């Protein structure tokens, strides 16, 4: 199994922190994830289709769920809804919730750049978060997450 490139994992972490706005409660992490999902959905649906964005998100959740099995209760993904997200993180400490949700974003970003390319994919992400800097590496492995 391959892993998300460190630069994308770091970028996902910064996006998540930006969305959380310094709030530290578990439910704040859930709110941040929902906002991030909606921002990605808004920017990417015209380009990829709603079904494609939902499929990428669903796969990203599955990949993150390998490390955090409690995420398995999230889904199915429709309209970028995260049914079961709040229940999945309920009762977890804020750091654990954030540590589980960031890999969803990281895997989503990696799947995105794998399938539509780094330039177009990250340009659309930057439209949603123009204040969150990202300096991409020269290139990513073309191998998609398994």
pLDDT at 40: 93
- pLDDT for 44 beyond 80: yes
Lowest mean pLDDT: which of 3-17, 76-90, 99-113, 120-134?
Answer: 76-90
**For the chain, what is the radius of gyration of the CA atoms?**
14
| Whole-number Å distance between alpha carbons of 19 and 42 | 15
**What pLDDT does 70 receive?**
92
Check residue 1 and give its pLDDT.
46
Average pLDDT over residues 42-56: 93
Q: Is 32 a residue whose pLDDT tops 50? A: yes
Q: Count Cβ neighbours within 10 Å for each residue of 9-33 and write b for 16 or more, e otherwise.
A: bebbbbbbeebbeeeeebebbbbbb
The two structure tokens encoding residue 24: 């530290």
DSSP state of 70: G
CA distance 121 to 126: 9
Sorted by sequence, the CB contacts under 8 Å of residue 107 that are 6+ apart come out as 4, 59, 60, 63, 64, 145
Q: Is the pLDDT of residue 146 over 90?
A: no
The confidence score (pLDDT) of residue 41 equals 92
Q: Quick check: 52 pLDDT over 90? A: yes
Of 2, 4, 16, 3, nearest in space to 99 by CA: 16
Which pLDDT band holds residue 53 (cuts at 50, 70, 90)?
A: very high
CA distance 74 to 71: 6
Q: Is the pLDDT of residue 124 over 60?
A: yes
């Amino acid at each position: 199994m391959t892993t998300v490139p460190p630069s994308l994992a770091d970028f996902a972490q910064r996006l998540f922190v930006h969305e959380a706005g310094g709030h530290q409660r578990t439910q704040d992490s859930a709110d941040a994830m929902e906002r991030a999902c909606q921002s990605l959905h808004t920017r990417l649906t015209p380009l990829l289709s709603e079904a494609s964005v939902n499929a990428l998100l669903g796969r990203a959740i599955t990949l993150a769920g390998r490390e955090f099995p409690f995420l398995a209760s999230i889904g199915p993904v429709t309209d970028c809804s995260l049914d079961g997200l709040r229940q999945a993180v309920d009762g977890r400490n804020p750091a654990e919730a954030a540590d589980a949700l960031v890999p969803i974003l990281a895997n989503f970003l990696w799947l995105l750049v794998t399938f539509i390319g780094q330039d177009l994919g990250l340009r659309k992400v930057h439209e949603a978060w123009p204040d969150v800097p990202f300096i991409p590496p020269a290139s990513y492995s073309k191998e998609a997450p398994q």
